[in-house]
Structure 1
């Protein structure tokens, strides 16, 4: 006989861990107890040595489906002669470190329950168990007990309580457990806040409203969606008009995988991700416009579709009464966070929605839908949120400081480091409005509350006008600024725990450079402590500053000014030149000459914009990254030609490339040769530093074609390379990189 005490850390609360341990202990004829505390799960075990070994092996190798074990520590104790195995009460310590579980999509067992007329949860829209349902979105603090969630006000009925107290039941200590009798209720309202129906009737009614061509708001796990019939051109166009969203693609929710296949072409990996327990929005290839009945206004001008399948019981019941896919886009005002409350929806989007389907389980922490794509037959997280976030990484050693990192201004996230934990918050969004800054503040307070966390050090971006930088400097705490593109590099290094020198290609749209210019086409030699700029795109001017981001023609004209005289430009037969009047070109030339509202940039993202304009693909863009998607769509894989460039000292000189593009008239050829040139550029520079592993980072590498073509060549040359997969390559990963720079 032997007695051991075990401590398990990681995502081990709210995931059925204690009943799993209880059943495993009974199976192995072991006695003792299990409980939760703020750091994880504690287990006391007594029994035969061989049975203890079996227990530990099973625990390590086959934990519950939603659990993520970071560490298991066990030590031998004096025998106490336990007579049974029990689940005992949670206890609170002064050192909170248990990891909060992300919200999860409904499991198959719960789907069976709501579809079974014999089950007392038949057609109950808010059912869940330890294997699925809300977690992060309903929790106030740890430990994850019902009293610490928005379910505290709902007293369980006898049937639910019986399941909740039975360790052999999958709803044992599932904190949001409830049913029609005792749990939260759903109801349908019009945009004047008048209740129209409730319970299952409200779902039947809203399905009918969608069929009739109405625009509705439906509450999900982490916020509301704006919803309409995805096959109806008229209503999708109306939604664009009401929301003032000209071309940015809408995500589409489908009943099941089979329905998605009617409209898209999927790889096996994409199928696997779409049907995974996280059920993220996945960007996939849309079928030819003639092969799909989806509205042409869903994703105008591009061939990608963001699709996902029903992930809550409410969604599943909706599709029971509705056979068409639905647009399901975040209910928010432009640049603001997703809305959590019905009254907010009526106040801010009353002119957009006709009806609202609500339920009275409060969303404490808003959480958008995750967005991913497949590249190199592996997942690439673009927006880290529901299902994946909060995301935890285990550090190789403990940090002696509590560190808070504030990310960037766009695709904002925060990150925390304490002990050996590195935690990334869900996507917050762009800090471009008072509401989004409030949400940023609220998220910081939430994570401080989760872990009783007060930072010793704050890390932020160097940009003096970022809201996050301003916030950092007002806290009276030691603050360190990290250059934006270096933070991109560090975020990838953090994902792979790299602690060595790397050759890093950091390509994105915007970031404040050390010389005061806007960087974005950077090649660094870097490690955890320092970086050196090895190469960068030759500076060009952004005519009109911020305005040039929405008008690619301004960026392209600036590059023409760099390479041709004004007289030559006025005579060019070119899509960019045709997009301006001659008078406008002359005014722009003066701005360019005198540097009036024309900041210098080395941005690769803006270069993509310029190529879109010069090729005639787009002169205006209505959302970030639109030109990149369109260039990728035009890429011809059979093209093996490339534009020329020069490496002069630290400069990547593209003047030859711009002159060659101006002579080209075929947009497919222009886009294909441009991407091939970038592949050549990465390979040539990497060959100059053969001893260094390569990091590819920044939002530009979300371009699947570019990433895959570079990966192919690097693999062929047997070069070691890294790019972020679980942490966003875009600005959503910046906060992780900022923290990584400060770790020992």
Structure 2
């Protein structure tokens, strides 16, 4: 007697070949019924014998497609309806969405083999894809994921593509971006003035010629435009920097293969796995000790790491197949501080005078997305930037977060949306200080809330009164909950590690608005999602000129020395910065009179000050430059070093005082002690102070327990992350670091949302 079962599969099950996979199982197990995409996932009806249905259900879990992820399976017995065949039926768009939007994926090996096969009708087609690879999030207009609701709607399938698309046993069955040179998108090459220079193979050939001749080409990829040049050509890299106005910030490069990447960087097996993964992020790798001659020094000046990714779009592979270069600079084409550039007309408008030509195409990008950036290593946060390949995959949570939205930070922004017990984090959106940045933010927010079927009923925002997200929240007209910046960091790391209850949190950060109106960023906290208390912090010092002291670290250094050491600090400042003697006198007056000199006690500003004192970075050209350059001098792995003297004082809330540290650093530098030695001692001082105050408070308050999370942007520093985690473990603490979201402000929204969920009525 035949039996029947209805199965609902939720997770990443659309746009990944799941229905053809179910069809194949049904055919092999001789089951009848249907499979359908709908707004809550994939719905399967199987009819047949009990043992065949049981085998099919087991295979459903064990043989799932490469890009799929099953979060939940709901099965119930139903009366048989007498199906005689198994069919894939039309999607059902009714009901509230519970879908997971599929992520963009690097081109698969099967498609690459076909693209390079002269006998295949997609030979050298730069937009080849299948259900296991290609664009997803960036081309979707609506859900469920069907071609009619993507930017491919403008391209009518030819007979050959249609045959594959409709064949349930073909790997391109219902591959929504399916196309070929007969019916699909086409490359075009455009001059800086907008003049068409050629299409198809001609466009590709001229772009390759330009790169080989030292030119700069803007290339439209999966999520936006990159600026590319030959990474081995020093003059070309310098020209790109000059034209883009990016003098020093390290540039990401694309290597032709893992083998080529290994020529210039140390690549561990795990790093190789991540490089080759479908997500294809930029992986931050340690450069080989002898500087490689195969890339220009200007690619990553002053640092010992290099960000490398592999080709992830078919077009990237063709550029390497046809060119003599093995490494291309691939840096985002957007203006500094503005959103990613992804629309053809805006690219032509902006890139005139920057790129020598634009290699574009006519498949619209509906939703821009940056490349993800990761670092692999024990005790290191995995994500520096979580975006393409990982977004918008949800994170499961133990709390009900339905209808809660967390708006994130001002810099390195991401926002989070709650649906049921799932948290969706947006792509990296960056700086919200510009009108364009906020426009992009609001547009992305509107799209994701609509797709997810979420109507926000509660907004979590940062406590800083001047963040752009506060104004956005006011326009939404929804109840708002303010979450202190470092409390959000604490909860973000707890949620990242699925921790409940309360624990200690060591938060080393750049900038965060404190409960007392000062800028916090070197904090020991205790608490959980609902609340936390401050246990220790860095002694405050003024920031004369506010943001100007952040972008010009020498001002911050002089202010710290003057504030902490008085007249002696003023003399040391003028010896360290002799060309700024008059300005230092003015800074002293500003501090004494408390004029435009907000108080701050942050790890980021402490690092900035020492970096300036050592002559590494007196004026920053990009966010975090001073701290990055200082961390590079400390060594990785670190060498043993003796900490400088410092003080810990206070009772209820303890204070870390680095006055003696800064005095010794100034004198050591003026007396010719090597920068690397000073840097290692300073790093070790921060490690010692952070761990010592944690041990002291833990011994005084055993009720706080031994769980501790490490969060905040300063934990992107490998020395601090590894040494602090190791020292605390040696002292009996259970240490948790970030793995699923960045430790900096790119992960802040996760903590904001969890805190709001715990505090909602």
TM-score where L is the length of structure 1: 0.97
Q: Deviations over 1:642-674 (max 9, x none)?
A: 123222122111122222222323311221112
Task: Tell whether the 8 Å contact from 1:570 to 1:577 is kept in structure 2 after alignment.
Answer: no
Distance 2:53 2:398 in 1: 28
2:735 is the alignment partner of 1:721: yes
Q: 1:397 to 1:512 in 2, by over 3 A?
A: closer
Match of 1:458 in 2: 459
Write the deviation string for residues 149-177 of structure 1: whole angstroms up to 9, x where unpaired: 00011110011011101111111101000
- State the Cα distance separating 1:289 from its structure 2 match: 5.6
Q: Deviation of residue 323 (structure 1)?
A: 2.6
Residues 556 and 576, structure 1, Cα contact 8 Å, conserved in 2: no
Bigger mean CA offset, 518-527 vs 718-727: 718-727
Paired residue for 2:563?
Answer: 562
Counterpart for residue 32 of structure 1:
33
Alpha-carbon distance in 2 for matches of 1:378, 1:510: 21
Question: Displacement, 1:743?
Answer: 2.4
Equivalent of 2:662 in 651, 658, 663: 658
Q: Is the 8 A contact 2:493 2:711 kept in 1?
A: yes
Q: Judge which range, 173-182 or 402-411, deviates more.
A: 402-411
- Give, in angstroms, the shift of residue 397 of structure 1: 4.6
1:338 counterpart = 2:352: no
Could you tell me which residue of structure 2 aligns to residue 391 of structure 1? 393
- Secondary structure of 1:151 counterpart: helix
For the residue of structure 2 that corresponds to 1:506, the secondary structure is strand
- For residues 717 and 322 of structure 1, the distance between their equivalents in structure 2, rounded to whole angstroms, comes to 55
Q: Is the 8 A contact 1:232 1:295 kept in 2?
A: yes
Q: Secondary structure at the match of 1:356?
A: strand
In structure 2, the CA distance between the partners of 1:378 and 1:182, relative to structure 1 (3 Å rule), is farther
Residue 602 of structure 1 aligns to a residue whose secondary structure is strand
1:27 shift after superposition:
2.2
Give the corresponding residue for 1:695: 709
The offset of 1:233, in angstroms, is 1.2
1:671 to 669, 679, 684: 679
Give the 5 Å matches for 1:126-525. 126-288=127-289, 290-324=291-325, 325-376=327-378, 380-399=382-401, 401-525=402-526
- Measure how far apart 1:514 and its partner are: 1.0
SS in 2 for 1:187: strand
Question: For 1:34-64, what per-residue CA distance to the aligned partner results, in whole angstroms no more than 9, with x for missing partners?
Answer: 1000111111112232332222222223321
Shift of 1:423: 0.4
CA distance in structure 2 between the partners assigned to 1:22 and 1:717 by the alignment: 55
Contact 1:608 1:627 in 2 (8 A): yes
- Of stretches 370-379 and 221-230 in structure 1, the one that deviates more from structure 2 is 370-379
Equivalent in the alignment of 1:707: 721
Helix, strand or coil at the partner of 1:104: coil
Are residues 58 and 168 of structure 1, via their aligned partners in 2, closer, same or farther at CA, if it must alter by over 3 Å? same
Cα pair distance change 1:724/1:579, threshold 3 Å? farther
Query: Structure 1 stretch 135-144 or stretch 643-652: which is displaced more?
Result: 643-652
Q: Per the alignment, do residues 378 and 28 of structure 1 end up closer, same or farther by CA in structure 2, a change over 3 Å counting? A: farther
The one-character-per-residue Cα deviations of 1:175-198 (angstroms, maximum 9, x if unpaired) are 000000000111111011111111
The superposition leaves residues 246-274 of structure 1 with CA deviations (integer Å, 9 ceiling, x where unpaired) of 10111111111111111112222211111
CA contact (8 A) 2:558 2:570 kept: no
The verdict on how the C-alpha distance between 1:95 and 1:590 changes in structure 2, with shifts beyond 3 A counting, is same
> Structure 1 CA distance, aligned partners of 2:145 and 2:574?
59
Q: CA deviation at 1:735?
A: 1.3
Question: Retained in 1: the 8 A contact 2:410–2:467?
Answer: yes
Post-superposition shift, 1:367? 0.5
1:673-711 deviations in whole A, cap 9, x for unaligned? 121122223322332326131110111101122111222
Residues 257, 512 of structure 1: alpha-carbon distance in 2 compared, 3 angstrom cutoff: same
Q: Which runs of 5+ in 1 are unaligned?
A: none
Structure-2 residue corresponding to 1:646: 647
| Contact in 2 for aligned 1:492/1:697 (Cα 8 Å) | yes
TM-score (norm 2): 0.95
Map of 1:2 onto structure 2: 3
* Paired residues of 2:538 and 2:656 also in contact (CA < 8 A): yes
Aligned mates of 1:187, 1:685 — CA distance in 2: 61
Distance 1:579 1:318 in 2: 50
For 1:274 and 1:579, the matched residues in 2 are separated by: 47
Report the counterpart of residue 632 of structure 1 in structure 2. Answer: 631
Match of 1:741 in 2: 755
Question: Partner of 2:614 in structure 1?
Answer: 615
RMSD: 1.6
